[in-house]
Protein backbone atom coordinates (compact mmCIF):
# COMPACT_ATOMS: atom_id res chain seq x y z
CA UNK A 1 0.00 0.00 0.00
CA UNK A 2 1.03 3.63 -0.40
CA UNK A 3 -0.28 6.99 0.66
CA UNK A 4 -1.94 9.31 -1.86
CA UNK A 5 -4.17 12.38 -1.82
CA UNK A 6 -7.82 11.70 -2.58
CA UNK A 7 -11.11 13.59 -2.55
CA UNK A 8 -14.58 12.12 -2.96
CA UNK A 9 -16.65 15.19 -3.83
CA UNK A 10 -16.16 18.76 -5.00
CA UNK A 11 -15.52 21.20 -2.18
CA UNK A 12 -13.13 23.27 -0.09
CA UNK A 13 -9.81 22.07 1.27
CA UNK A 14 -11.64 19.92 3.84
CA UNK A 15 -12.57 17.33 1.19
CA UNK A 16 -8.86 16.51 0.77
CA UNK A 17 -7.62 13.43 2.60
CA UNK A 18 -4.58 11.17 2.68
CA UNK A 19 -5.64 7.64 1.68
CA UNK A 20 -3.89 4.28 1.74
CA UNK A 21 -4.16 2.95 -1.78
CA UNK A 22 -2.55 0.03 -3.62
CA UNK A 23 0.91 0.97 -4.92
CA UNK A 24 0.39 1.73 -8.64
CA UNK A 25 2.08 -0.58 -11.18
CA UNK A 26 3.78 0.73 -14.32
CA UNK A 27 2.36 -0.52 -17.63
CA UNK A 28 4.25 -0.80 -20.92
CA UNK A 29 6.32 2.32 -21.57
CA UNK A 30 5.77 3.62 -18.05
CA UNK A 31 7.89 4.15 -14.93
CA UNK A 32 7.01 3.97 -11.24
CA UNK A 33 8.52 6.87 -9.29
CA UNK A 34 8.87 7.23 -5.53
CA UNK A 35 7.93 10.89 -5.14
CA UNK A 36 10.29 13.17 -3.22
CA UNK A 37 8.55 16.46 -3.99
CA UNK A 38 5.39 17.52 -5.85
CA UNK A 39 4.34 21.09 -6.57
CA UNK A 40 0.78 22.31 -6.06
CA UNK A 41 -1.05 24.62 -8.47
CA UNK A 42 -4.15 26.86 -8.39
CA UNK A 43 -5.73 24.85 -11.23
CA UNK A 44 -5.92 21.82 -8.93
CA UNK A 45 -7.82 23.89 -6.37
CA UNK A 46 -10.24 25.05 -9.09
CA UNK A 47 -10.84 21.47 -10.26
CA UNK A 48 -11.37 20.27 -6.69
CA UNK A 49 -13.87 23.05 -6.07
CA UNK A 50 -15.81 22.01 -9.17
CA UNK A 51 -15.21 25.34 -10.95
CA UNK A 52 -13.91 23.56 -14.05
CA UNK A 53 -16.56 20.82 -14.12
CA UNK A 54 -17.72 21.64 -17.65
CA UNK A 55 -14.22 21.58 -19.09
CA UNK A 56 -12.29 19.14 -16.89
CA UNK A 57 -14.71 17.11 -14.75
CA UNK A 58 -13.44 15.05 -11.83
CA UNK A 59 -14.33 11.40 -11.32
CA UNK A 60 -14.48 10.22 -7.72
CA UNK A 61 -12.54 9.23 -5.77
CA UNK A 62 -10.15 11.65 -7.43
CA UNK A 63 -6.39 11.88 -7.06
CA UNK A 64 -4.52 15.09 -7.62
CA UNK A 65 -1.31 16.59 -8.93
CA UNK A 66 0.71 16.93 -12.16
CA UNK A 67 4.21 17.95 -11.02
CA UNK A 68 6.70 15.61 -9.38
CA UNK A 69 10.32 14.68 -8.83
CA UNK A 70 11.59 11.45 -7.33
CA UNK A 71 13.48 8.21 -7.66
CA UNK A 72 12.57 5.54 -10.22
CA UNK A 73 11.30 2.49 -8.34
CA UNK A 74 10.02 0.28 -11.16
CA UNK A 75 9.91 -0.06 -14.94
CA UNK A 76 7.15 -1.19 -17.30
CA UNK A 77 7.83 -3.35 -20.33
CA UNK A 78 9.88 -1.73 -23.06
CA UNK A 79 11.49 1.02 -20.95
CA UNK A 80 15.21 0.89 -21.66
CA UNK A 81 16.63 4.37 -21.32
CA UNK A 82 15.73 4.72 -17.62
CA UNK A 83 16.92 2.55 -14.72
CA UNK A 84 15.62 1.85 -11.23
CA UNK A 85 17.32 4.31 -8.88
CA UNK A 86 17.49 7.16 -11.44
CA UNK A 87 16.60 10.57 -10.05
CA UNK A 88 13.99 12.13 -12.32
CA UNK A 89 11.50 14.97 -12.60
CA UNK A 90 8.39 14.98 -14.70
CA UNK A 91 4.66 15.21 -15.04
CA UNK A 92 1.44 13.27 -15.37
CA UNK A 93 -1.91 14.16 -16.90
CA UNK A 94 -3.66 11.64 -14.63
CA UNK A 95 -4.06 13.77 -11.48
CA UNK A 96 -1.93 11.49 -9.37
CA UNK A 97 1.43 12.99 -8.38
CA UNK A 98 0.42 14.05 -4.86
CA UNK A 99 1.31 10.65 -3.54
CA UNK A 100 4.18 8.49 -2.30
CA UNK A 101 4.30 6.74 -5.68
CA UNK A 102 3.27 7.89 -9.13
CA UNK A 103 3.20 6.11 -12.48
CA UNK A 104 4.28 8.28 -15.42
CA UNK A 105 4.95 7.76 -19.10
CA UNK A 106 8.68 7.21 -19.52
CA UNK A 107 8.59 9.92 -22.21
CA UNK A 108 7.30 12.43 -19.62
CA UNK A 109 10.27 12.25 -17.25
CA UNK A 110 13.73 13.73 -17.53
CA UNK A 111 16.82 13.37 -15.32
CA UNK A 112 17.13 15.72 -12.33
CA UNK A 113 20.26 17.76 -13.17
CA UNK A 114 22.99 18.49 -10.62
CA UNK A 115 22.25 21.62 -8.66
CA UNK A 116 18.46 21.29 -8.82
CA UNK A 117 16.88 20.67 -5.39
CA UNK A 118 14.13 18.10 -5.03
CA UNK A 119 11.71 20.94 -4.28
CA UNK A 120 12.61 22.94 -7.39
CA UNK A 121 12.55 19.79 -9.54
CA UNK A 122 9.17 18.74 -8.18
CA UNK A 123 7.61 22.17 -8.65
CA UNK A 124 8.87 23.09 -12.10
CA UNK A 125 6.56 21.43 -14.61
CA UNK A 126 3.24 23.34 -14.61
CA UNK A 127 4.59 26.76 -13.65
CA UNK A 128 7.76 26.45 -15.70
CA UNK A 129 6.25 25.26 -18.95
CA UNK A 130 3.44 27.82 -18.62
CA UNK A 131 5.91 30.68 -18.09
CA UNK A 132 8.00 29.37 -21.01
CA UNK A 133 4.99 29.32 -23.35
CA UNK A 134 3.73 32.73 -22.25
CA UNK A 135 7.10 34.45 -22.66
CA UNK A 136 7.57 32.81 -26.06
CA UNK A 137 4.04 33.85 -27.09
CA UNK A 138 4.78 37.56 -26.56
CA UNK A 139 8.19 37.24 -28.27
CA UNK A 140 10.10 38.90 -25.41
CA UNK A 141 13.51 39.99 -26.69
CA UNK A 142 16.30 42.50 -26.28
CA UNK A 143 15.10 46.09 -26.53
CA UNK A 144 11.58 45.22 -25.34
CA UNK A 145 9.89 46.27 -22.16
CA UNK A 146 7.66 43.48 -20.88
CA UNK A 147 5.15 43.72 -18.02
CA UNK A 148 4.31 40.60 -15.99
CA UNK A 149 1.29 40.61 -13.65
CA UNK A 150 1.42 38.29 -10.65
CA UNK A 151 5.17 38.71 -11.06
CA UNK A 152 6.18 36.88 -7.89
CA UNK A 153 3.69 33.99 -8.16
CA UNK A 154 4.46 30.46 -9.31
CA UNK A 155 4.21 31.25 -13.02
CA UNK A 156 5.04 34.96 -12.79
CA UNK A 157 8.32 34.50 -10.90
CA UNK A 158 9.57 32.24 -13.72
CA UNK A 159 8.10 34.37 -16.53
CA UNK A 160 9.94 37.42 -15.15
CA UNK A 161 13.25 35.56 -15.19
CA UNK A 162 12.71 34.02 -18.65
CA UNK A 163 11.88 37.45 -20.11
CA UNK A 164 15.02 38.86 -18.48
CA UNK A 165 17.07 35.97 -19.90
CA UNK A 166 15.63 36.84 -23.34
CA UNK A 167 17.19 40.30 -22.87
CA UNK A 168 14.04 42.31 -22.16
CA UNK A 169 13.51 45.00 -19.54
CA UNK A 170 10.89 43.57 -17.19
CA UNK A 171 8.35 45.39 -15.05
CA UNK A 172 6.87 43.08 -12.42
CA UNK A 173 3.49 43.88 -10.85
CA UNK A 174 3.55 42.67 -7.26
CA UNK A 175 2.68 43.48 -3.68
CA UNK A 176 5.29 45.44 -1.66
CA UNK A 177 6.53 42.29 0.10
CA UNK A 178 7.88 41.04 -3.23
CA UNK A 179 9.54 44.21 -4.50
CA UNK A 180 12.98 43.51 -3.03
CA UNK A 181 12.96 40.00 -4.55
CA UNK A 182 12.02 41.38 -7.99
CA UNK A 183 14.82 43.96 -7.73
CA UNK A 184 17.26 41.19 -6.89
CA UNK A 185 16.16 39.30 -10.02
CA UNK A 186 16.86 42.39 -12.14
CA UNK A 187 13.24 43.41 -12.71
CA UNK A 188 11.55 46.75 -11.94
CA UNK A 189 8.84 46.17 -9.32
CA UNK A 190 5.61 48.17 -9.59
CA UNK A 191 2.75 47.96 -7.10
CA UNK A 192 -0.62 46.81 -8.44
CA UNK A 193 -3.89 48.51 -7.42
CA UNK A 194 -5.23 51.97 -8.11
CA UNK A 195 -2.93 54.08 -10.28
CA UNK A 196 -1.05 51.08 -11.69
CA UNK A 197 -1.37 52.32 -15.30
CA UNK A 198 0.38 55.60 -14.43
CA UNK A 199 3.04 53.83 -12.40
CA UNK A 200 3.83 51.50 -15.32
CA UNK A 201 4.05 54.47 -17.71
CA UNK A 202 6.41 56.19 -15.29
CA UNK A 203 8.59 53.08 -15.04
CA UNK A 204 8.58 52.67 -18.83
CA UNK A 205 8.83 56.09 -20.49
CA UNK A 206 10.00 54.23 -23.61
CA UNK A 207 6.62 52.43 -23.81
CA UNK A 208 5.66 48.82 -23.13
CA UNK A 209 5.96 46.24 -25.89
CA UNK A 210 4.53 43.07 -24.40
CA UNK A 211 2.42 41.85 -21.47
CA UNK A 212 2.23 38.49 -19.71
CA UNK A 213 -0.87 38.28 -17.52
CA UNK A 214 -0.86 35.57 -14.85
CA UNK A 215 -3.55 37.11 -12.64
CA UNK A 216 -6.57 38.15 -14.72
CA UNK A 217 -9.11 40.68 -13.38
CA UNK A 218 -8.59 43.44 -15.93
CA UNK A 219 -4.91 43.12 -16.85
CA UNK A 220 -5.71 42.39 -20.51
CA UNK A 221 -7.59 45.70 -20.72
CA UNK A 222 -4.72 47.41 -18.90
CA UNK A 223 -2.28 46.02 -21.45
CA UNK A 224 -4.44 47.34 -24.30
CA UNK A 225 -4.59 50.75 -22.59
CA UNK A 226 -0.80 50.71 -22.57
CA UNK A 227 -1.00 50.55 -26.35
CA UNK A 228 0.38 47.01 -26.67
CA UNK A 229 -0.52 45.09 -29.83
CA UNK A 230 -2.96 42.22 -28.97
CA UNK A 231 -0.54 39.76 -30.57
CA UNK A 232 1.99 40.58 -27.86
CA UNK A 233 -0.38 40.13 -24.93
CA UNK A 234 -0.69 36.67 -23.38
CA UNK A 235 -3.07 35.82 -20.55
CA UNK A 236 -3.04 32.39 -18.93
CA UNK A 237 -6.22 33.00 -16.98
CA UNK A 238 -8.60 35.59 -18.46
CA UNK A 239 -10.01 33.58 -21.37
CA UNK A 240 -13.08 35.80 -21.66
CA UNK A 241 -10.98 38.91 -22.23
CA UNK A 242 -8.73 36.94 -24.57
CA UNK A 243 -11.68 35.97 -26.76
CA UNK A 244 -13.07 39.51 -26.66
CA UNK A 245 -9.83 41.27 -27.58
CA UNK A 246 -8.13 38.54 -29.59
CA UNK A 247 -5.06 38.28 -27.34
CA UNK A 248 -3.06 35.10 -26.83
CA UNK A 249 -3.68 32.37 -24.24
CA UNK A 250 -0.57 30.20 -24.58
CA UNK A 251 0.07 28.32 -21.36
CA UNK A 252 0.96 24.91 -20.02
CA UNK A 253 -0.40 22.83 -22.91
CA UNK A 254 1.64 24.81 -25.46
CA UNK A 255 4.92 23.70 -23.84
CA UNK A 256 4.02 20.57 -21.84
CA UNK A 257 6.88 18.30 -22.78
CA UNK A 258 9.85 16.63 -21.16
CA UNK A 259 12.03 18.56 -23.64
CA UNK A 260 10.94 21.97 -22.33
CA UNK A 261 11.14 20.69 -18.76
CA UNK A 262 14.70 19.54 -19.46
CA UNK A 263 15.65 22.93 -20.90
CA UNK A 264 14.23 24.73 -17.86
CA UNK A 265 15.84 22.32 -15.41
CA UNK A 266 19.25 22.90 -17.00
CA UNK A 267 18.82 26.64 -16.51
CA UNK A 268 17.99 25.98 -12.85
CA UNK A 269 21.01 23.69 -12.51
CA UNK A 270 23.29 26.38 -13.95
CA UNK A 271 21.92 28.97 -11.51
CA UNK A 272 20.33 31.01 -14.31
CA UNK A 273 16.74 30.38 -13.22
CA UNK A 274 15.54 30.34 -9.62
CA UNK A 275 12.44 28.44 -8.56
CA UNK A 276 11.48 30.28 -5.37
CA UNK A 277 10.12 27.78 -2.86
CA UNK A 278 7.67 29.52 -0.53
CA UNK A 279 7.09 26.52 1.71
CA UNK A 280 7.29 22.74 1.87
CA UNK A 281 4.44 20.79 3.50
CA UNK A 282 4.33 17.10 4.39
CA UNK A 283 1.59 15.21 2.54
CA UNK A 284 -0.45 15.08 5.77
CA UNK A 285 -0.73 18.87 5.70
CA UNK A 286 -2.15 19.05 2.18
CA UNK A 287 -5.14 21.06 3.38
CA UNK A 288 -2.90 23.71 4.94
CA UNK A 289 -0.80 23.80 1.77
CA UNK A 290 -3.85 24.66 -0.36
CA UNK A 291 -5.14 27.10 2.24
CA UNK A 292 -1.90 29.02 1.83
CA UNK A 293 -1.99 28.76 -2.00
CA UNK A 294 -5.61 29.93 -2.15
CA UNK A 295 -4.71 33.13 -0.28
CA UNK A 296 -3.01 34.02 -3.61
CA UNK A 297 0.10 35.68 -2.22
CA UNK A 298 2.61 32.90 -2.63
CA UNK A 299 6.10 33.85 -3.79
CA UNK A 300 7.06 31.07 -6.16
CA UNK A 301 5.94 27.56 -5.37
CA UNK A 302 4.43 25.54 -2.54
CA UNK A 303 5.59 21.93 -2.50
CA UNK A 304 4.30 18.71 -0.92
CA UNK A 305 6.86 16.26 0.43
CA UNK A 306 5.51 12.71 0.83
N1 LIG B 1 -3.39 28.50 -18.68
C2 LIG B 1 -2.47 27.75 -18.09
O3 LIG B 1 -1.85 26.91 -18.73
C4 LIG B 1 -2.17 27.96 -16.64
C5 LIG B 1 -1.10 27.27 -16.07
C6 LIG B 1 -0.78 27.52 -14.74
C7 LIG B 1 -1.53 28.43 -14.01
N8 LIG B 1 -2.60 29.03 -14.59
C9 LIG B 1 -3.39 30.01 -13.83
O10 LIG B 1 -2.59 31.18 -13.70
C11 LIG B 1 -2.79 31.80 -12.46
C12 LIG B 1 -1.46 32.01 -11.76
O13 LIG B 1 -0.94 30.77 -11.33
P14 LIG B 1 0.24 30.75 -10.27
O15 LIG B 1 0.57 29.33 -10.01
O16 LIG B 1 1.30 31.68 -10.70
O17 LIG B 1 -0.52 31.38 -9.02
P18 LIG B 1 0.07 31.90 -7.63
O19 LIG B 1 1.42 31.33 -7.43
O20 LIG B 1 -0.99 31.62 -6.63
O21 LIG B 1 0.21 33.46 -7.86
C22 LIG B 1 -0.27 34.33 -6.93
C23 LIG B 1 0.28 35.70 -7.29
O24 LIG B 1 -0.82 36.56 -7.55
C25 LIG B 1 -0.45 37.85 -7.14
N26 LIG B 1 -1.58 38.74 -6.86
C27 LIG B 1 -2.47 38.67 -5.84
N28 LIG B 1 -3.36 39.69 -5.97
C29 LIG B 1 -3.01 40.38 -7.11
C30 LIG B 1 -3.54 41.51 -7.80
N31 LIG B 1 -4.64 42.13 -7.37
N32 LIG B 1 -2.92 41.94 -8.92
C33 LIG B 1 -1.81 41.33 -9.37
N34 LIG B 1 -1.27 40.24 -8.78
C35 LIG B 1 -1.86 39.79 -7.66
C36 LIG B 1 0.35 37.61 -5.88
O37 LIG B 1 1.22 38.70 -5.79
P38 LIG B 1 1.70 39.36 -4.40
O39 LIG B 1 1.99 38.21 -3.47
O40 LIG B 1 2.89 40.12 -4.83
O41 LIG B 1 0.55 40.19 -3.92
C42 LIG B 1 1.05 36.28 -6.13
O43 LIG B 1 2.40 36.48 -6.52
C44 LIG B 1 -3.78 30.94 -11.70
O45 LIG B 1 -5.07 31.49 -11.85
C46 LIG B 1 -3.71 29.59 -12.40
O47 LIG B 1 -4.92 28.86 -12.31
C48 LIG B 1 -2.92 28.84 -15.89
What are the domain boundaries of the chain?
2-126+254-305, 139-247
Residue 301 Cα: closest atom of ligand 1: 19
pLDDT at 89: 98
CB-based contact 98:304 (threshold 8 Å): yes
pLDDT at 146: 98
Residue 140's pLDDT band, with cuts at 50, 70 and 90, is: very high
What would the mean pLDDT of 128-137 be, rounded to a whole number? 98
Instruction: Please report the pLDDT score of residue 175 as a whole number.
Output: 98
Verify whether ligand 1 is closer than 6 Å to residue 150 (CB atom).
Answer: yes
What is the position in ligand 1's atom list of the atom closest to the CA of 193?
A: 31
Task: State which fold the 2-126+254-305 domain adopts.
Answer: Quinone Oxidoreductase; Chain A, domain 1 (3.90.180)
Q: Is 96 in the pocket of ligand 1 (CB under 6 A)?
A: no
Q: Is the CB of 215 under 6 A from ligand 1?
A: yes
pLDDT at 196: 98
- Cβ 211 vs Cβ 223: under 8 Å: yes
Mean pLDDT over 126-151 rounds to 98
- For residue 297, the ligand 1 atom closest to its alpha carbon is 39
Task: Summarize the confidence of residues 31-49 as an average pLDDT.
Answer: 98
Q: Are strands 169-173 and 87-91 parallel, antiparallel or unpaired?
A: unpaired
Return the residue whose CA atom lies nearest to atom 9 of ligand 1: 237
**Superfamily for domain range 139-247:** NAD(P)-binding Rossmann-like Domain (3.40.50.720)
For residue 200, the model assigns a pLDDT of 98
Residue 215's pLDDT band (boundaries 50, 70, 90)? Answer: very high
Q: What is the pLDDT of residue 306?
A: 97
| Closest C-alpha residue for ligand 1 atom 24 | 150
CA of 192 to the centre of ligand 1 (A): 13
| Rg over CA atoms, the chain | 19
| pLDDT tens digits, one per residue of 266-305 | 999 999 999 999 999 999 999 999 999 999 999 999 999 9
Amino acid sequence: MARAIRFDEYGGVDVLRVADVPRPAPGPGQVLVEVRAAGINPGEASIRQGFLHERWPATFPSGQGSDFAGVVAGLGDGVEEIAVGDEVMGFVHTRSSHAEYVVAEASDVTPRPDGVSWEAAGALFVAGTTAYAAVAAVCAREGDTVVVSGAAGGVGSLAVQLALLAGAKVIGLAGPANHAWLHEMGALPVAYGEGVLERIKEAAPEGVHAFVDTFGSGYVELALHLGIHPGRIDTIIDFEAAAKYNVKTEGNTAAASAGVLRELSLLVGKGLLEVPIARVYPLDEVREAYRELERRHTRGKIVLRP
